[in-house]
Structure 1
Amino acid sequence: MANIQIRKYREDDAEAVKEIFTMGMSEHVPSSFMHLLKQPITQMVLMIVFCALMTSSKSFLLPILAVTLCLAGARQFVVHVFNKYIDTSLKKDLNSISETYLNQKDSNFWVAESDGQVVATVACLPAVEAPGCLELKRMSVCRSHRRLGIAKALCQTTADFTRERGYAAVILYTSLVQTDAQKLYEDMGFEKIREFAVPEFPAKILNFTLLEYRLDLQKDRKRD
């Protein structure tokens, strides 16, 4: 954590925040693609395509080319899903961080700065689906500054902010493929309370599952 400062977001951080978020989300494309390939329906479609063309063409080349094209198309589909989510997020709140977080009650947006460069972000605001809780959002750390304790410090900053305002807990949502994030949250004392499928059609095709985690601050208070 040497030379790392956690501070409130400023307007001149806007481009750095967007870049960190975009790069962080794009990193999940490979693991999401592998998750798609492990789905039974994906494997069944690839097998049907291969066997059908193998039977009709009597050649290995055409089935292999067809399966290769199917895999390339599947990866582009995953890229499209993530790009759409990134674009939606940028339009929804990351283009108006001050209005969404800083100007609202019990909300905030922080950045971690290293040698004058923004290297990580996190935010929180009242949880819509969990009254009495704040929701941790937009946690992302530059690849070059991971494993330095920055993410844990940002989680703790959010927890302290939540406790100071009298909320019972911090909740957050992460995806099944974000295994490093899951480990981080569990190390910080968050408990996984449910899993659920994303209702949007593209996510259903991916069998994309979200996990809800909760950090109960009342338990922390009792231990103190």
Structure 2
Amino acid sequence: MATFAEVVIRPWQPDDDDAVWAVLQEGSHSNINSTFLLCLKKPVLRALGIVVILIGLANGLSTLALVPCFICGIGVIYALSVVSSYVYLYSSTLSDIKDIQQTYISNPDNHFWVAECDNEVVGTIAIVKRYDPDIDAYSSTNIDDLGSVLRQKKIAWLRRMVVRNKFRGMGIAKCLLNESLEFCKRRDYHGVFLITTEVHHAARSLYSNVGFELIAIKPYKYLKGLVIIKTYEFFLSL
């Protein structure tokens, strides 16, 4: 068990379920604005905006007349960002959280931790054994001999790293990460794999700082492709 200031990193307990869900829910909702701003910066939306302006002007509409169209368009994009957050929370993506005991605790190679501050759960992280990685997807990586490492059965998948908004910037995420990596070493894992997104700038920086290397960038489609976010896959050899 590790401590950081007034924060304690401890194993998940059955009565933590509601608190864990609240942390994950807040984490998802906190990404809505970032996702919205990210979507606004997408080249395809900029191009679409230019096309709308040109069509409107060609049909004799004034710039002022086009303003309501842009406001509606921005509203739709924000609504899609909100819906994406709820889809993430209530789809099969978080099915593992419905039974943490079975997914993470019953197998000694898996685990789930919470960060607790003043008896309040403020963060989470989990490790689960990863099976059958897609070796070919990483053939171009510059990590030495990554293919042979990934072919080992003992690869950990780091998941559910979340810290509540008001507790960010205190080093809790790093403490959670260190605890999970120490566990992986004790369980004789050969390496740790994780996926994050372009929305999570601070997380990507943290992973890079502790030695994770970027091995792939892939598009992830929400709502049948209406919202597309880049995912970043990282790997750390142990």
Alpha-carbon shift at residue 90 of structure 1 (Å): 7.2
Q: Give the 3-state SS of the residue equivalent to 1:167 in structure 2.
A: coil
SS in 2 for 1:96: helix
Structure 1 pair 201/151, CA: closer, same or farther in 2 (3 Å)? closer
Task: Output the amino acid matched with 1:215.
Answer: L
Equivalence for 2:110: 107
Indicate the SS of the match to 1:214: strand
Distance of 2:172 and 2:223 partners within structure 1: 33
Residue in 2 that maps onto 1:222: none
Give the partner amino acid of 2:34: S
User: Contact (CA 8 Å) 1:35, 1:206: kept in 2 or not?
Assistant: no
Candidates 195, 200, 205, aligned match of 2:217 = 195
Matched, 1:26 2:6: no
Question: Aligned AA for 1:212?
Answer: E
| 2:110/2:129 contact within 8 Å kept | yes
Give the TM-score of the pair, scaled to structure 2: 0.84
| Runs of 5+ consecutive residues of structure 1 not aligned to the other structure | 218-224
1:180, distance to aligned residue in structure 2 (A): 0.6
The one-letter amino acid of 2:89's match is I
- Count residues in correspondence: 216
Asked if 1:72 is matched to 2:75, the reply is: yes
CA distance in 1, matches of 2:222, 2:167: 35
Structure 2 residue 191 is matched with structure 1 residue 169:
yes
How far, CA to CA, are the matches of 2:92 and 2:25 in structure 1?
A: 10
Deviates more, 1:200-209 or 1:33-42: 200-209
Q: Which amino acid aligns with 2:186?
A: E
8 Å CA contact 2:84–2:222 kept in 1: the answer is no
**Correspondent of 2:63 among 60, 63, 85:** 60
Structure 2 gaps, min length 5: 134-149
| Helix, strand or coil at the partner of 2:107 | coil
Match of 1:208, SS state, is strand
- Residues 61-210 of structure 1: matches in 2 within 5 Å? 61-88=64-91, 92-128=95-131, 129=133, 130=150, 131-198=153-220, 200=221, 202=223, 204-210=225-231
Tell me how far apart the structure 1 counterparts of residues 168 and 42 of structure 2 sit (CA, whole Å): 31
1:18–1:90 CA contact under 8 A, matched in 2 = no
C-alpha distance in 2 between matches for 1:84 and 1:71 = 20
Alignment pair present for 1:215 and 2:236: yes
| Local SS of the residue matching 2:22 | helix
Corresponding position: 1:14 with 2:36: no
Relative to structure 2, which stretch is displaced further, 45-54 or 10-19?
A: 45-54
Counterparts of 1:58 and 1:190 in 2: how far apart (Å)? Answer: 53
SS at match of 2:234: strand
- Further displaced range: 167-176 or 60-69: 60-69
Shift of 1:203: 6.9
Aligned-partner residue type, residue 180 of structure 1: A
| Deviation of 1:53 (Å) | 2.7
Q: Percent sequence identity over matched residues? A: 28
